[in-house]
Copies of this chain bind each other. A is one copy, B any other.
Amino acid sequence: MRKKLPDEEFYHLINHGPCVLVTSGSMKRGEINVAPIAWGTPVNDEPPLVAICVATSHHTAKLINKYGCFAINLVSRQLIPAIKICGSVSGRHADKFKRAGITPSGCRKISTPFIKESAGHIECKLKTKADYGGVFLFVGKVVHCEIENRFYDGHLLPEKAKTPHHLGGSYFFVSGKRKKY
């Protein structure tokens, strides 16, 4: 079961710096893609804004520019193999969802799918973009956000969500026990 969060709480899903899967494109047009993104951050909560960085040559960048939206999918360590697959082939030439064993599912507010097997997702409408030497920094306005109930008690439960954190190359660690300081 997934719970809708207020848009301004979207940052609770990614504040801790996980490697996420970003979906792009349009379900209706049958043109969709998915790619791992470690380079992203919340920008503001009111208004709710989030940034992701995508190589300008990548298919994901083309689809975000074409359809003006994207979704950020928080995933658990079970999907690290999917991250590896989605990071190693281009969506121009392959159905990465099928190859990675993940299911595109209709978003609430945008044409782009979210990943059914994700721990939660954030739906975004493109607000601005800037090219930094071959990388687009896309800033999106959050228009919907939801998370699996079992991973959230008002804040993320990282020892349950077990999110992957990318160290470069093939190295990751997985989120551990939450503590109050």
Judge whether A170 is part of the interface by a CB distance below 8 angstroms: yes
Which of A44, A53, A80, A128 neighbours the largest number of chain B CB atoms within 10 Å of its CB?
Answer: A44
Interchain CB contact under 8 A, B51 and A41: yes
- A44: B residues at CB distance < 8 A: 53, 132-135
Judge whether A175 is part of the interface by a CB distance below 8 angstroms: yes
Chain A 2-22 per-residue mask, 1 if CB under 8 angstroms from chain B, else 0:
000000000110011110000
Chain A 123-141 per-residue mask, 1 if CB under 8 angstroms from chain B, else 0:
0000010101111010100
Judge whether A62 is part of the interface by a CB distance below 8 angstroms: no
Which of A15, A176, A180 neighbours the largest number of chain B CB atoms within 10 Å of its CB?
Answer: A15
Shortest C-beta distance, A67 to chain B (Å), equals 22
Instruction: Please report the C-alpha to C-alpha distance between residue A167 and residue B173 in the assembled complex, in whole angstroms.
Output: 16
